[in-house]
Amino acid sequence: MIAEFPPGLLLIGGAVLVPFLKGNVRSAYTLILPLLGILQLIMLDTGTFGAMSSFGFEQTHVRVDKLSLIFGYIFYIAAILGVIFAWHNDDGMEKSTALIYVGAAIGATFAGDLITLFFYWELAAVASVFIIWAARTDRSFKAGLRCLLIYLVSGILLLTGIAMYATATGNVDFNNIGLDSPGGLFIMLAFGIKCAFPMVHNWLQDGYPEATVTGTVFLSAFTTKLAVYALARGFAGTEVLIWIGVTMTAFPIFFAVIENDLRRVLAYSLNNQLGFMVVGVGIGSTLAINGAVSHAFAHIIYKALLFMTMGAVLYRTGTAKGSELGGLYKTMPWTTGFCIVGGASISAFPLFSGFVTKSMILTSVAEEGYLIPFLVLLFASAGVFHHSGIKIPFFAFFAHDSGKRPKEAPFNMLLAMGLAAFLCIGIGVYPAPLYALLPFPVDYAPYTTSHVVTTLQLLVFSGLAFAVLQRTGLYPPELRSTVLDFDFSYRWIAPRLVKGMFKVGGEVWSLMTGDFKALLGALIRRIVQTSGPRGILARTWPTGSMVLWAATLLALSLVFYYQ
């Protein structure tokens, strides 16, 4: 019976009971639901079910294939890790909205039509905003509002694209759409906003770090990877995505280097890693799609691990700013070790998960002859090691001694981090099980001499550059600061521009109304002069004069009539 239940609805429906439970019972309940979800996926057969008709279109509520299954598995794994990490957190609002969020992302992953996708897409967006608001701070409230506005833009674009596509084609099937299809551009832009394309990416750095220690772990796993799935499903082989993805890999590096808040550094590195996946989708070959999908799988785990380690630091010290941390390895050795594993994984060190997935994307780019994208991806690979593999653990745990001696993270946090670290190493050492889940058959060997040597050379020189810059004092210091990104345009410039426009408009209006009043007064005075009690039209005229004028007019009429 459970196999016939639409994936995701189990968590969405189960979230209703969360507010009525307390303590360990609530935490155990939220863990059981994703475990049942994985069991359901194992029992699912490939194919479609849940057909229905609405709005005059045939819909397929559930479509099961290898692409949707692998994202379904990793979403449930991320949910399990997040629940364990948040075991001590008894916030009913956050836990119930987290379940809805996960369920909506999974429901969208298995949606066989665009209408069903839109429903889950918007539900996931709203739930993620409530996770940000669960922090219950003024900053989180404002960040959540900004994220909500951007999500609404994504939803409007998606709905517009679906309407155009459905009108032109007569169906709403969610298959390859492409930019040549009616509404395709709108749909891709909607996916791109959630994937944090350049210039629409700041909702990620704005919202994620303002959530709670546990909420950020959930947020890091689903919204952006759901967008990667949607792009892989609908726009594989769209060349423009290569250049968009290349840009995404490069520009966040510079912001991450100067950012002081280490959770915001991780948000920028998340943007960087998404770029690799978008490039893979843009290439569109079987190797590239396998690389993009497997990298999304690995990324969810190691990014969650890194956010968990910084969350544990924030939980114990009250800050995640590099300028206020350092020396924590002395009292938080396990967290330090897990952070290093996450840094090695995101940096694609051999024997760690990132190596066996990112190398597939790089190989596919080289095979297709994209030289400039390949070189930029190499630069970005060195950059991510620089700011996530070195900067995060160095400034949090080793740099200067901050004097803080916090306790080690709680057991449930360590357990979640340990499981994630085990998966990072396990996938890196033995990638065959992951490769077996990929959408296409895998004929790829990551551990070749050229791959290993090239990667190690890149990492060694990147590490050497960091060491030299640090020793010479040229590396940007960790200082209290505000990093200005593209969101400066709508968070600072736009409000002041609108305020200025209203001010100028008010002054113009005042001048216009003043002139209008003056003209109206002059008109009224003229009317009074002519038609008032003393006006010329109100004067009494002699009867003889009136008879003379009447006779004159009559004579003129007779003259014109008889001519």
Could you read off the pLDDT tens digit of each residue along the chain, which spans 563 residues? 565 678 989 999 999 999 999 989 999 999 999 999 999 999 998 888 877 777 677 888 889 999 999 999 999 999 999 999 999 988 888 999 999 999 999 999 999 999 999 999 999 999 999 999 999 999 999 999 999 999 999 999 999 999 999 999 988 999 999 999 899 999 999 999 999 999 888 899 889 999 999 999 999 999 999 999 999 999 999 999 999 999 999 988 888 888 888 999 999 999 999 999 999 999 999 999 999 999 999 999 999 999 999 999 999 999 999 888 989 999 999 999 999 999 999 999 999 999 999 999 999 999 998 999 999 999 898 888 877 888 899 888 988 788 889 999 999 999 999 999 999 999 999 999 999 999 999 989 999 998 899 888 888 888 887 777 777 776 666 656 666 666 667 666 777 777 777 777 777 777 777 767 777 777 777 766 666 566 555 555 566 666 666 777 777 777 666 65
Q: Is residue 351 part of a domain?
A: yes
Q: Which of 214, 156, 163 is nearest to 184 (CA)?
A: 163
Q: Evaluate whether residue 552 is within a structural domain.
A: no
| pLDDT at res. 2 | 60
Residue pair 88/214 in contact by the 8 Å Cβ criterion:
no
Q: Is residue 10 part of a domain?
A: yes
- Distance (Å, whole) CA 436 – CA 432: 6
Q: Are 228 and 261 within one domain?
A: no
Distance CA 219, CA 134 (A): 12
The verdict on residue 545 lying in a domain is: no
* Domain-located, residue 544: no
Domain boundary among 217, 234, 251: 234
Query: Are 296 and 323 in the same domain?
Result: yes
In whole angstroms, what is the distance from residue 423 CA to residue 178 CA? 35
Query: Alpha helices of 134-285 — where are they, by DSSP H?
Result: 138-169, 184-194, 202-207, 215-234, 240-258, 262-283
E strands present in 456-508: none
Same domain, 72 and 200: yes
Question: Could you tell me the residue range of the domain that residue 45 belongs to?
Answer: 1-234
Sign of CA dihedral 335, 223, 52, 180: negative
Same domain, 286 and 381: yes
Q: Which residues pair with 58 in a beta bridge?
A: 53
Same domain for 4 and 29: yes
Q: Are residues 469 and 521 both part of a single domain? A: no
Q: Tell me, yes or no, whether 208 and 244 share the same domain.
A: no
Count of structural domains within the chain: 3
Q: Where does 473-493 have alpha helices with state H?
A: 488
Of 205, 234, 263, which residue constitutes the final position of a domain? 234
Query: Position of tokens 């001590």?
Result: 88
Number of Cβ atoms within 10 Å of the Cβ of 156? 12
CA 264 to chain centre: 14
Backbone phi, psi, residue 54, to 5°: -155, 150
- In a domain, residue 536? The reply is no
**Residue 197: inside a domain:** yes
The helix (H) or strand (E) run that includes residue 53 is strand 47-54
Clarify whether residues 421 and 508 are in a common domain.
Answer: no
Q: Do residues 112 and 48 touch, judged by C-beta distance below 8 A?
A: yes
pLDDT for the residue numbered 330: 92
Distance between CA atoms of 184 and 177, rounded to whole angstroms? 6
pTM, 2 dp? 0.87
Do residue 258 and residue 372 come from a single domain?
yes
Amino acid at 451: H
> Does one domain contain both 37 and 178?
yes
Q: Is residue 540 part of a domain?
A: no
Residue 302 and residue 173 share a domain: no
Same domain? 1 vs 110: yes
CB of 35 closer than 8 Å to CB of 96: no
